Amino acid sequence: MIPNPVEIRVKQSQLTLKNIKQFYMWAPDWETKFYQVSEIYGSFSVGQAIIFCEARATLLVHLMLLG
């Protein structure tokens, strides 16, 4: 739990910008999740990305192994 969280309310129509793509995917395990992220990166040119994950260090190691 985050102590004293800040809540920001936004209208549904203002949640995304037209030139920003958002993805939400569920995966049963780490390998499937990592494969899905790799597929997104391989599908189009990614200039910047935000990936929400439980263990940032683990993701970094796997991404570095792929190059």
- Predicted confidence at residue 48, as pLDDT, reads 74
What is the pLDDT of the chain when averaged over all its residues?
78
- Predicted confidence at residue 54, as pLDDT, reads 72
* Domain presence at residue 3: no
Confidence of residue 30 (pLDDT cuts 50, 70, 90): confident
- Output the six-digit token pair for 55: 């263990």
Q: Which one is predicted more confidently, 49 or 6?
A: 6
**If DSSP codes are grouped into helix, strand and coil, which group holds residue 11?**
coil
Range of the domain at 41: 12-64
Q: Which residue has the tokens 């993701």?
A: 59
Q: How many domains does the chain have?
A: 1
Q: Which residue has the tokens 């189009």?
A: 44
**What angle do helix axes 56-66 and 30-43 make, rounded to 10 degrees?**
50
- Predicted confidence at residue 46, as pLDDT, reads 67
* Contact between residue 32 and residue 38 where contact means Cβ atoms under 8 Å apart: no
* Domain presence at residue 54: yes
45's CB contacts (< 8 A; 6+ apart) are: none
